[in-house]
Each structure stands twice: as structure tokens, then as C-alpha cells.
């Protein structure tokens, strides 16, 4: 189970203005959190509630299908996978692959699983550059869109379909796999017509909660990562969240986030001390921002709720953002992620013995150094009365990462319950999509396009 160290949020060290009297707050909020968890579990089987992410760790036949297909592909002569998706269709798999594949897998000719490349933007230079360096005959393309109407993803699909077709002719369809809704949308019938292999996005799972569905698991399995272990770790988080708050780090973290938010800390920082977890921040930022930033409450009141997420990486950002965290506005809660045992132990050699100033490093290890820096940064923040806490991982493997992802999804869900908003919609995203469709000339948006042209938009 993931541990949590909350000493740097305690009122005993930070005072009552910036700190929290944890035992008192646990008693005060225990029933509310118990009710929130019970209510979420009671609603999980209603597709309209979009709580299907909770049941994903209970792997079914759909995981067998993913694993079987991934084994088949990895045993072929294919070397690269291009993932076409944006937001939740790419960030989860990117996070897991970068954490669990070799850190320089892109430089390896062969390795465990395919090399992954994510097309998550419509930057023409990036897309053209990827096409220039990849071999179409050795590349598989995974297009991910629940509806098939996502402009960025489908534009990339059109480009890569032509790229494959120009090189492979009619055989290109064997190199495209689509992940989409089981019935609705335009990508499902398109995939059936073209003969693409398909996998299903569960209708009750939203994009930012989809990392443990086929959206994330297919690329992850093709990368050679143990998806069963990932799901097993996530199942541990489902068990943990049911425990009383005194022995429940998920409820504790959610409550600390909520109390700090209500007490003038509207910025939530996630700062893992691991280069392999660098992309976790991007995944968390979407999960937190899109889930919790809402204009209206569940009762229809105008509330403009939302804790702003910020990503940082230790120890790198000690030399950039931590200056702001310590001496800027005291409006942030910092959550560290610490890994106890790294896969490798790397000692620091005494290769400059004449430099006495470096003698303190010689004979130590990078392992001790990175965790000493995390502990020191947390303590320094506390000395500046900046609340922070640490999530503790024994090691960074598939099981612990799966648990961490589900932990953060549960934390987000509970934060939404406490703030009284709909965690699973995203109405603030839709207007920008409508304007994009209009500017690009999509049928049915003529009036909007005329309005935008009058305002000088092209």
C-alpha cells in the first residue's frame, strides 16, 4: 500500500493559519468521507454516472484480448507504435510507458516491446519530423477517439493513413488499430469498413480516467509492460479507499487537499522525485483541472470552483520553481512522490580526491542523494510555513504505479464530492471545439463561422 507522510502539514509545525490539526479534522470529516465513498460505489453501475473507471482493475476478457494482440505484434517485425490521441487518450499511456520502459527506449534498436511515439498535438513540424524518421513498414498506428470527432486526432489519422497507404498499398489496414466507442461515433463504422483491428473505450469511462482501459492498456501492453500487475496495483487502491480515514492515505490526501484549498491554497503541486515519473505531472494536471474546474455546483449554483494543478519534478525544479514555492505567495500545497528503492544503485565515485569540497559526495549514492534532497526540500518548505506532504512508494514497478494512478483518481473523485461539483463532465472545453469546427469549415457551423469572421478570426 502507498504510504503517506503528513508531518509537514501539521498545525504543530506550521501553526493554525497554514497547518491542519489532523486528528481533529479526521474526526470532523470521517462521516462525510465515508458517505462520499459509499455513494460513489453505489452509483458505479449506472453508466450515466461515468464511474466505470472504478471497475477497470477487475480485469475481464477484454484484457486477455489486449494481451493476446500485443504478444502477436511484439513477435512480428514491427518496432514502433504511433499513438494518435490527445488529452486522456495519450497522457496515461505516456506516463506509464515513460515510467516503466527503459528510460532511453527510443535509442534502442530492439528491446522489450515497441518504441512508443505520441502524436498529441497538431504541430506540423513535429508530425512531419516523426514521419521522416519512422519506417512505415515497421510501424503500427493506434488511433484513439471515443467519438471519432476529435479534430486533432482525426487530422493526424488522415495524415498517417496516407503515409502508410503510400508505402504499403492495400496492406496498410493491417497497420492501423482503432480504440473507440463500441457503437456510437464515426470511428467505429470507419474502422469496420477499413477492416482495422478495434478495441473498445467503455462508454462509462471518461478520457482522463481511461488509462486503465484499452485506451491506455493497449499501448502499454505493446510496449511490453505487465498490464496485469498494473491493474493489480490499482485494485489495491480500490481496497484502500474503503478503510477508515485513520488508516486510509487516499481519504487523508483528499481531505488535506480540500482543507488547504478552502484555507487559501488554491494551487496543488505534484512533484515526484523521479525522472521516470516526469510525465505523471502532465497526466495529473489534466485529471485535476478538467475534473475540478467547474462554473456550477451540482445544484446549479454559480461557484467557479477549481484548485489549479501544477507539475514539478525533483530535484530538477528545486533550481527553478522551489524559489517561488518558498518565498512567493503562500497559496500552494505541494505533494511529493518519493521512491524508496530504485531499480539501480549508482554510487558516487571519488574521482576527484584532491577536491576537498566534493569529499562529502564520494562514497555516497545517487539513491541517497535524491531522497535526501526530497526530504530537505519538504523540511525547508515547512520552515517557510508552506504545507507539503509525501506519497511513499516502495519501488517504481507496474503494481505500484497502477496503485498510484488509481490513488490519484480516487483523490480527485473525493475532492469533487467535497466541493460539490460534477467531476466527470467538461462543459468548459466544448465551446472551443465548436469554434474550431466553424473556423475549419465543418458542415453545420456556418452561422458560428460568420460570427467569428465578423470578429476577425480566420
Q: Tell me the catalytic residues.
A: 290, 319, 433
Distances (CA, A) of 153 to 114, 332, 335, 430: 21, 34, 32, 16
Cell numbers that stand for 264 in this block: 487559501
In whole angstroms, give the CA distance from residue 279 to residue 391.
17
- The dihedrals phi and psi of 435, each to the nearest 5 degrees, come to -65, -35
By the 8 A CB rule, do 225 and 170 touch? Answer: no
In whole angstroms, give the CA distance from residue 250 to residue 444.
46
Is residue 48 within a helix (H) or strand (E), and if so which, with residue range? none
Peptide bond into 148 cis (omega under 30): no
Residue keyed to cell 481511461: 210
Task: State how beta strands 80-84 and 115-119 pair.
Answer: parallel
Contacts of 102 (CB under 8 A, 6+ apart): 108, 111, 112
In whole angstroms, give the CA distance from residue 140 to residue 84.
11
**Closest among 259, 235, 244, 246 to 409, alpha carbons compared:** 235
Please, is 93 exposed, middle or buried when counting C-beta atoms within 10 Å of its C-beta (0-12, 13-18, 19+)?
A: buried
Cell numbers that stand for 195 in this block: 477492416
Amino acid at each position: 500500500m502507498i504510504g503517506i507522510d503528513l508531518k509537514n502539514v501539521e498545525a504543530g509545525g506550521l501553526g493554525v493559519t497554514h497547518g491542519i490539526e489532523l486528528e481533529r479534522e479526521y474526526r470532523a470529516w470521517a462521516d462525510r468521507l465515508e458517505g462520499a465513498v459509499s455513494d460513489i460505489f453505489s452509483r458505479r453501475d449506472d453508466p450515466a454516472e461515468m464511474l466505470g473507471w472504478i471497475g477497470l482493475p477487475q480485469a475481464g476478457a477484454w484484457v486477455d484480448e489486449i494481451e493476446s494482440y500485443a504478444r502477436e505484434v511484439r513477435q512480428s517485425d514491427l518496432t514502433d507504435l504511433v499513438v494518435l490521441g490527445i488529452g486522456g487518450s495519450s497522457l496515461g499511456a505516456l506516463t506509464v510507458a515513460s515510467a516503466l520502459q527503459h528510460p532511453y527506449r527510443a535509442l534502442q534498436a530492439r528491446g522489450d516491446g515497441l518504441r512508443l511515439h505520441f502524436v498529441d498535438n497538431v504541430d506540423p513540424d513535429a508530425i512531419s519530423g516523426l514521419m521522416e524518421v519512422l519506417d512505415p513498414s515497421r510501424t503500427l498506428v493506434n488511433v484513439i477517439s471515443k467519438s471519432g470527432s476529435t479534430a486533432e486526432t482525426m487530422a493526424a489519422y488522415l495524415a498517417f493513413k496516407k503515409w502508410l497507404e503510400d508505402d504499403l498499398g492495400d496492406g496498410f489496414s493491417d497497420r492501423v488499430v482503432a480504440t473507440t466507442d463500441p457503437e456510437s461515433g464515426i470511428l467505429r463504422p470507419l474502422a469496420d469498413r477499413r477492416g482495422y483491428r478495434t478495441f473498445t473505450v467503455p462508454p462509462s469511462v471518461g478520457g482522463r480516467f481511461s488509462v486503465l482501459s484499452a485506451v491506455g492498456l493497449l499501448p502499454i501492453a505493446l510496449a511490453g509492460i505487465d498490464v496485469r500487475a498494473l491493474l493489480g496495483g490499482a485494485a489495491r487502491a480500490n481496497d484502500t479507499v474503503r478503510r477508515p480515514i485513520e488508516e486510509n492515505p487516499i481519504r487523508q490526501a483528499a481531505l488535506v487537499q480540500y482543507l488547504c484549498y478552502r484555507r487559501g491554497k488554491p494551487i496543488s503541486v505534484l512533484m515526484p522525485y523521479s525522472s521516470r515519473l516526469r510525465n505523471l505531472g502532465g497526466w495529473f494536471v489534466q485529471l485535476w483541472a478538467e475534473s475540478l474546474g467547474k462554473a456550477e455546483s451540482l445544484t446549479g449554483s454559480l461557484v467557479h470552483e477549481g484548485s489549479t494543478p501544477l507539475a514539478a519534478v525533483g530535484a530538477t525544479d528545486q533550481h527553478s520553481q522551489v524559489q517561488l514555492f518558498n518565498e512567493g505567495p503562500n497559496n500552494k500545497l505541494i505533494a511529493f512522490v518519493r521512491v524508496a528503492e530504485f531499480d539501480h544503485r549508482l554510487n558516487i565515485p571519488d574521482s576527484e580526491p584532491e577536491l576537498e569540497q566534493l569529499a562529502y559526495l564520494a562514497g555516497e549514492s545517487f539513491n541517497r542523494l535524491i531522497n535526501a534532497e526530497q526530504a530537505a526540500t519538504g523540511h525547508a518548505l515547512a520552515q517557510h510555513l508552506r504545507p507539503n506532504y509525501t506519497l511513499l512508494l516502495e519501488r517504481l514497478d507496474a503494481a505500484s504505479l497502477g496503485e498510484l494512478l488509481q490513488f490519484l483518481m480516487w483523490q480527485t473523485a473525493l475532492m469533487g464530492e467535497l466541493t460539490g461539483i460534477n467531476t466527470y463532465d467538461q462543459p468548459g472545453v466544448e465551446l472551443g471545439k465548436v469554434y474550431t469546427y466553424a473556423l475549419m469549415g465543418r458542415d453545420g457551423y456556418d452561422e458560428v463561422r460568420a460570427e467569428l469572421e465578423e470578429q476577425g478570426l480566420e
